[in-house]
A and B are shown apart, each in its own frame.
Chain A
């Protein structure tokens, strides 16, 4: 061990990459969990194709998982990887542009044969030169043949043997980054507890990879990344979709209600439905509907009948739910809709991230149909905003849309576990007095109606999509419609008293204010941090509340010379701000590649603006 070349680093980004059947997502996840357990701050980003098994060996079939971990705060999975683990030539081709200059490439030299080079469309026999990666540190490892060697006495067929290749790579990377194997070993033992042969073969290959690193230390560098300085407490690793699911369970428990989810599987939101379906132990009623429309309408039915009701989807499904969301607006029922945004329009880029459903969420319904819109900004943040969305819906009798995105939903980070006691109360607006109850009678301050549902004696009433008078009877009276339209909008605006003021990250005034919303927080805060280190007067105002906007929005904007709105769309939030907070010049930085921002490109655009 003494002879090993040891490099101490602040932060490292590793990208595991191979065929979509190579098990790269599992490899990346296991490595991330191990790393988080060691006390490093982490941020992960799975990047995979929408085909389950795209043609083997092709660039289109490459599946990747990037994790950044560090000894300081890590807010992004890293623009560029320091280390690439490539299981085949296609992985090199697909990921060359995501490599940090001078990075390390560990690759399965057995897979770099004529056939695979052609499949990946390399013209020569030197893929690294073709990808201009000559100066990179390359570690060829015969992963396939060493895996075969390790398992030769197990009596397994070749296909099963090759399936364990990823464990060799994982063992090797664990050695390089000084991670113990016990967590991974435990995972394998419990995951395959009914298949002892699979457990044995995977453990064997995992250790073979680790030992290979140790034995070959003269050629493999070893990195040390010390634990990050984070707030004391109990932590767990959580991704955005799980955090979202758990936020709703917590809200239901706090509110004393049962939780109903009506939903239809759609990438990248499906995991929320799955995570809630698992929780029958906590009484969650999950209903896998026949389509997106039945997903939301069953949830509306459950809200009408007294449950905390939610539906989850992504862009195309959100479009299908539009009419029903209007019904929830009209019936003034508590409902939360989660849109885990992906690249659009139409089917678009199902597995990639984007923020392009903002205007659809705000305006994509017939009639004047206002809803509350909130957006989470980090994976663990999804818990808080799911909780808050439910609180607003139940206390204000209004539909709330929670926007997350593929990057947040699939990405993970360590999360300091809260206790239920520290979460704020949720007080649903249960109807109290049958004698005075009217379906659309409102509180004069918050304009919310009361919630009475079937089974409650004496409150029988009717609601529906037709315009109503105060008693819940159909009304075509022109003045009533005008008045109710204004009330529905004003009711949403008055939610502002549940919205904390916008805070500025960085100085309260300066040359440039970066404005962002939702899932870009990690990249934007990293950008601000780096620019401030360089002495630039740059701050960040990141929005979680889109409708209504925080009260002090204009006041914050007024303290900066220039404002740049950065979003993963063509300027939807910027145009909303131009409408709601006019008289301010909004510069824009927009990206529509299905990928998160990079800190590098953000810095460049802000520096350019500073120089203008």
Chain B
């Protein structure tokens, strides 16, 4: 086997990128391309599938096989792609409207089946391509063109849907941290099963600054907890804040205060099957908690496309029917000979004229 070496540049297409200047999508495509370059997978085996929305123009900016499908259905199209050829590295590019609203049903069923595709969910909490309407992830009270008096709906938290659908991989990243995005995408690609990567993304035009509270470099260290499997859940300018569990609930503590030591801090276990703590991490919000980033959940489970291949192989091992001719002749058949079936009357018209 020769080693396959790519650079991020190998994944860029000749098409001019038409996202708005300053859009968070530029950083995300960079992190995805860098991740793909490091995977050691042949270029022709990548398939990038998207739905509808700003982010869904993504395949046109990639030099891989790409399919820009219809609103909300990229997940279902990608399921078909992966089942047809489990050898492929299949990526779904979607947004909060595409995956959480019109495509909500396909999203949860993809996760439930655990088909081995990598889904990157661009979450800017707004409908950008239709010019600024609230989305299923917009916060309650958010004022937009379709909610001029503020929304009266609570948002979906994508990670909660993943856990609710028995997801095996969930990670969160943010557009301006390309390195984190790259690392997460590599882990997502290597995970066997559906990997959901939520990327908090800024829309310069219709929701500028939506994630500023989290991403502002001045406060970033105190407001972002970047989780690493096997490492303590520490954050803060001084890296002295951490999480503990008290009465079953997460609590922010400071090492050195109230007798808290480094040993008291929870250690992140992404591979824990019980999703309770993962869910608690997903749910953390400002101002009482930092927002969790990194790979929050990564657990092994049966993978749909592998199971299907195995089932076919198993059935074929003991099969009685191995080709169409055998199937046609199987079961109850009978022979009509010239004797018992002497032709006389004209047969069914048209019968041999199909081709």
Contacts and interface: CB of A to CB of B under 8 A. Distances in A.
A589 B74 CA distance: 45
Contacts, number: 252
A327 B70 contact: yes
Interface in B48-82: 49, 52, 59-60, 62-70, 73, 76-82
A298 interface: yes
Interface in B91-112: 105-106, 109
A548 to B, nearest CB: 16
Contact of B77 (A36, A237, A304): A304
B248 interface: no
Contacts of A297: 69-70, 73, 76-77, 80, 106
Contacts of B67: 301, 304, 331, 462-464
A201 interface: no
B341 A253 contact: no
A233 B349 contact: no
Given A233-B336, A235-B333, A420-B325, A503 B350 contact: yes
B308 interface: yes
Contact of B336 (A39, A281, A282, A474): A39
A455 B88 CA distance: 7
B312 A285 contact: yes
Find the residue from B59, B332, B340, B350 having the highest chain A CB count within 10 A: B350
Contacts of B245: none
B81 A454 contact: yes
Nearest to A293: B73
Nearest to B348: A73
Nearest to A330: B70
Contact of B65 (A258, A388, A454): A454
Interface in A452-467: 453-466
A168 to B, nearest CB: 23
B321 interface: yes
A463 to B, nearest CB: 6
Contacts of B46: 454
Contacts of B340: 39, 227
Contacts of B15: 473-474
B109 A417 contact: no
Interface stretch (A305-313, A349-357, A480-488): A305-313
A146 interface: no
Contacts of B338: 232
A33 interface: yes
B299 to A, nearest CB: 23
Interface stretch (B25-33, B37-45, B233-241): B37-45
Interface string A170-210: 00000000000001000000000000000000000000000
A294 interface: yes
B77 A455 contact: no
A236 interface: yes
Contact of A281 (B47, B308, B320, B341): B320
Contact of A474 (B60, B73, B347): B60
Interface string A360-395: 000000000000000001100000110010000000
Contacts of B45: 454-455
Contacts of B348: 73, 75, 378, 525
B47 A305 contact: yes
A515 to B, nearest CB: 14
B324 A249 contact: yes
Contacts of A331: 67
B337 interface: yes
Contacts of A511: none
Interface string A72-112: 11010000000000000000000000000000000000000
A437 interface: no
Contact of B83 (A260, A324, A388): A260
A12 interface: no
Interface residues of A, number: 88
A323 B102 CA distance: 13
A73 B353 contact: no
Q: Kindly name the residue among A36, A281, A324 whose own CB sees the greatest number of chain B CB atoms within 10 A.
A: A281
Given A454-B47, A462-B60, A464-B59, A229 B345 contact: yes
Contact of A500 (B59, B82, B321, B353): B353
B323 interface: yes
Given A72-B345, A281-B315, A294 B332 contact: no
A388 B355 CA distance: 8
Given A280-B311, A454-B46, A454-B47, A298 B350 contact: no
Contacts of A231: 336, 341, 343, 347
Contacts of B2: none
B36 to A, nearest CB: 13
A419 interface: yes
Contacts of A283: 312, 316
B342 to A, nearest CB: 5
A573 interface: no
A397 interface: no
A298 B324 contact: no
Contacts of B49: 301
B334 interface: yes
A377 B13 CA distance: 49
A401 interface: no
A293 B353 contact: no
B344 interface: yes
A279 interface: yes
Nearest to A249: B324
Q: Please indicate which of the listed interface residues A289, A424, A460 has the most CB atoms of chain B within 10 Å of its own CB.
A: A460
B319 to A, nearest CB: 4
A540 interface: yes
A151 interface: no
Contacts of A417: 328-329, 333
Interface string A246-278: 100110010000101010000000000000000
B68 A525 contact: no
A525 B350 CA distance: 11
Given A280-B312, A454-B44, A500-B354, A228 B324 contact: no
Interface in B140-177: none
Contact of B341 (A183, A230, A279): A230
B336 A463 contact: no
Interface in A303-356: 303-307, 309, 323-324, 327, 331
A13 interface: no
B212 to A, nearest CB: 32
A300 B79 CA distance: 10
Interface string A290-302: 1101100111111
A307 B329 contact: no
A234 B334 contact: yes
B327 interface: yes
B87 interface: yes
Contacts of B64: 454, 460
A500 to B, nearest CB: 5
A305 B350 contact: no
B335 interface: yes
Contacts of A183: 332
A431 interface: no
B69 A464 contact: yes
B78 A301 contact: yes
A461 B65 contact: yes
B321 A305 contact: no
23 contacts: A39-B336, A229-B345, A230-B341, A236-B334, A249-B324, A253-B323, A281-B319, A283-B312, A285-B84, A287-B79, A287-B80, A294-B76, A301-B79, A301-B82, A416-B336, A419-B328, A420-B325, A453-B65, A455-B45, A462-B59, A462-B62, A465-B68, A525-B349
In the A-B complex, list the 10 residue pairs whose CB atoms are closest, starting with the nearest. Answer: A301-B80, A464-B68, A298-B80, A505-B349, A305-B84, A301-B77, A281-B319, A294-B76, A462-B66, A302-B84
Given A289-B109, A309-B84, A459-B44, 10 more contacts: A73-B345, A281-B320, A282-B323, A285-B308, A302-B81, A420-B325, A454-B45, A462-B59, A463-B68, A465-B70
